[in-house]
Chains A and B, each alone.
Chain A
Amino acid sequence: MKIVRAFHLFLLLGAGLLTLPSSSIADTVEYQFTLNTAPLVSSAAGPFSLDFQLNDGSGTNDGNNTATLSNFSFGAGGAPVGAASLIGGASGNLSSTVQIKDSSFLNDFTQGFTAGNTLSFTLNLTTNVDTRGAPDEFTFAILDNTGSELPTKTPLNVFSLIDVTAKLHVQTFGSDPNQVPVAGGTPLDTGAPTAKLIPPSTAPEPTSIVLLAAGLLLLVAKFKLFDRLNVRAKNGD
Chain B
Amino acid sequence: MNIRKLFAGLSAAMLLQNGIPTSGAPGPITYTVTDLGALSANLATDTDSSATAINSAGYVVGYSGVFDNSSGTFLSHHAFAWIPKAQNAPTGAIADLRGLPGFVCVDVGHGNNLVRFDTNAWDINDLNQISGDSWTGDGTCQTLQLHAAIYGGSSPKDLGVPTGTVSSSGSGINSIGDVVGHAENQPGTSLFAFFYDGTFHDLGALPNFPFGEANKVNAAGQVVGQSYTADLSNLHAFLHKGTGPITAADDLGTLGGTNSAAYGINANGVVVGNASLADNSVHGFIYIGGKMSDLGTLTPGVFNFTGASAINNSNDVVGVSQTAAGDNHAVIWKKGGPIADLNTMINPASGWTLTSATGINDSGQIVGQGMLNGHIRAFLLTPPETGLEGLILSAATVCGTVQTTIGTVTLQTPAGASGALVPITSSRPNVADGPPSVTVAAGQTKATFPITTRDVSVATPVTITAFLNGTFKSATLTVHPLLSSVSFTPREICSRTTATAKVTLACPAPVAESVSLSSADSGAAPVPNNVEVSLGKTIGSFSVTGGDVFSDANDIAITATLGADKQSDTLTVHPLLGNLTIVPATVMGKKTAIGTVSLTFNIFNGQNCQAPHGGINVALVSDNSEVARPAVPSITIPGGSSIGTFTINTSVPTAQTCAKGISNVGTCAVDISAEAAGGVQTASVDVTQPGSPAAVNVSQIVSVIPGGFHFDHATNTYTQELLIVNQVNSQTPIAAPIGLVLDHFPPGDTNPDPWVLIGAKDLDTSKALVIGTTKATTPVNRPVVTLSLTNLPTPGVLNPGDSVTILLNFSNPTNAPITYIPVMIAGGKF
Interface stretch of the complex, out of A92-100, A131-139, A197-205, A211-219: A131-139
Q: Which of B164-172, B245-253, B613-621, B709-717 faces chain A?
A: B709-717
Contact A137 B714 (CB under 8 A): no
Q: Within B799-821, which residues are at the interface with A (CB < 8 Å)?
A: 807, 815-819
What band does the interface of chain B fall in when counting residues whose beta carbon is under 8 Å from A? 20 to 34
Does B629 reach chain A (CB closer than 8 Å)? Answer: no
- The interface residues of chain A lying within 8 Å CB-to-CB of B719 are 155-156
Q: Which of A108, A133, A136 has the most CB of B within 10 A?
A: A133
Are the CB atoms of A134 and B720 closer together than 8 Å? yes
Q: Which residues of B have CB within 8 Å of A105?
A: 709, 815-818
Q: How far is the CB of A155 from chain B (nearest CB, A)?
A: 5
- Does A40 sit within 8 A of B, measured CB to CB? no
Which residues of chain B are near A163, meaning CB under 8 Å?
A: 707-708
- The reply to whether the CB of A123 lies closer than 8 angstroms to some CB of chain B is no
**Cβ contact within 8 Å between B712 and A106:** no
A55-B710 contact given A156-B719, A156-B721, CB 8 Å threshold: yes
Contact A147 B714 (CB under 8 A): yes
Measured CB to CB, the closest approach of chain B to A195, in angstroms, equals: 17
Interchain CB contact under 8 A, B709 and A57? yes
Q: Are A59 and B712 in contact (CB under 8 A)?
A: no
Which chain B residue lies CB-closest to A105? Answer: B817
Flag A60-93 by CB within 8 Å of B: 1 or 0 each.
1100000000000000000000000001100000
Cα separation A180 to B713 with both chains bound (whole Å): 16
Decide: A135 and B706 in contact? CB cutoff 8 A: yes
Contact B713 A134 (CB under 8 A): no
Task: Collect the chain B residues with CB atoms within 8 Å of residue A182's CB.
Answer: 714
| B763 contacts A by Cβ under 8 Å | yes
In-complex Cβ contact of A147 among B709, B713, B761 (8 A) = B713
Name the contact of B713 in the complex, choosing from A59, A88, A133, A143 (C-beta under 8 A).
A143
Complex partner residue of A108 from B706, B711, B807, CB under 8 angstroms: B711
Contact A148 to B714, CB < 8 A, known contacts A59-B745, A61-B817, A105-B818: yes
A59-B745, A134-B720 known; A156 vs B815 contact (CB < 8 Å): no
Which residues between 122 and 153 of chain A lie within 8 Å of chain B, taking CB atoms?
A: 133-139, 141, 143, 146-149
- A104 CA to B712 CA, complexed, in Å: 16
* A105-B817, A135-B707, A135-B708 given; A51·B745 CB < 8 A: no
A139, B710: Cβ atoms under 8 Å?
A: yes
Chain B min CB distance to A181 (Å): 10
**B818 and A59: CB pair below 8 A?**
yes
Q: Mark A167-196, 1 if CB is under 8 A from B, else 0.
A: 000000000000010100000000000000
Which B residue sits closest to A61, measured CB to CB?
A: B817
Cα–Cα, bound, A222→B709 (Å)? 51
**Contacts A59-B745, A155-B719; is A137 near B710 (CB within 8 Å)?**
yes
Question: With a CB–CB cut-off of 8 A, which chain B residues contact A57?
Answer: 706, 708-709
The B interface is mostly helix, strand or loop, or mixed, namely strand
Contact B714 A55 (CB under 8 A): no
Closest chain B residue to A134, Cβ basis: B706
A118 contacts partner chain B, Cβ-Cβ < 8 Å: no
Inter-chain residue pair count (beta carbon < 8 A):
79
Q: For the complex, is A53 an interface residue (Cβ under 8 Å from B)? A: yes
Q: Across the interface, which residues of B come within 8 angstroms of A138, CB to CB?
A: 708
Q: Which of B225-261 contact A (CB under 8 A)?
A: none
Query: Given A155-B719, A161-B710, is A59 in contact with B763 using a C-beta cutoff of 8 Å?
Result: no
List chain A residues, Cβ under 8 A from B713. Answer: 51, 110, 141, 143, 147-149
Instruction: Encode B290-302 as 1/0 by CB contact (under 8 A) with A.
Output: 0000000000000
Shortest CB distance A231–B (Å): 61
* Pair A134/B708 contact, Cβ less than 8 Å: yes
A158 within 8 A of B: yes
Q: How far is the CB of A65 from chain B (nearest CB, A)?
A: 11
Q: Contact: A59 with B819, CB < 8 Å?
A: yes
A-facing mask of B709-737, CB < 8 A → 1, else 0? Answer: 11111100001110000000000000000
Whether B710 lies near A53 (C-beta < 8 A) is yes
CA distance A69 to B368 in the complex (A): 91
User: Is B720 within 8 A of A157, CB to CB?
Assistant: no
Alpha-carbon separation in the docked complex, A165 to B815 (Å): 22
Give chain B interface residues in 145-185, CB to chain A under 8 Å: none
Question: A134-B708, A143-B713, A182-B714 given as contacts; is B807 within 8 A of A155 (CB)?
Answer: yes
Distance to closest chain A CB from B709 (angstroms): 5
> What is the CA–CA distance of A33 and B708 in the complex, to the nearest angstrom?
21
CB distance from B566 to the nearest CB of A (A): 25
Q: How far is the CB of A105 from chain B (nearest CB, A)?
A: 4
**Given known contacts A155-B719, A155-B807, A156-B721, A56 and B817 CB-to-CB distance under 8 angstroms:** yes
1/0 per residue, CB under 8 A from A, across B759-785: the answer is 001010000000000000000000000
Distance, CA A55 to CA B812, complexed state (A):
14
Chain A residues whose CB sits within 8 angstroms of the CB of B706 once the complex forms: 57, 133-135
Chain B residues 379-435 with CB under 8 Å of chain A are none
User: Which single member of A87, A110, A134 contacts B707 (CB below 8 Å)?
Assistant: A134
Measured between alpha carbons, how far is A133 from B714 in the docked complex, in Å? 25
Q: Give B491 Cβ to nearest chain A Cβ, in Å.
A: 13
A134 to B547, CA, bound (A): 50
Which B residue sits closest to A162, measured CB to CB?
Answer: B708
Known: A59-B745, A106-B815, A134-B707; 13 extra A-B contacts, CB below 8 A, are: A55-B711, A59-B819, A105-B817, A105-B818, A110-B713, A135-B706, A137-B709, A138-B708, A139-B710, A147-B714, A148-B713, A149-B713, A156-B719
8 closest Cβ contacts across the A-B interface? A137-B708, A148-B714, A59-B819, A59-B817, A105-B817, A106-B815, A134-B706, A55-B709
Which residues of A are interface residues toward B (Cβ below 8 A)? 51, 53, 55-61, 87-88, 104-106, 108, 110, 133-139, 141, 143, 146-149, 155-158, 161, 163-164, 180, 182
Give me 13 A-to-B residue pairs in the complex whose CB atoms sit less than 8 angstroms apart, sorted by A's number.
A53-B710, A56-B817, A59-B818, A105-B816, A106-B711, A106-B815, A108-B711, A134-B709, A135-B707, A147-B714, A148-B714, A155-B807, A157-B712
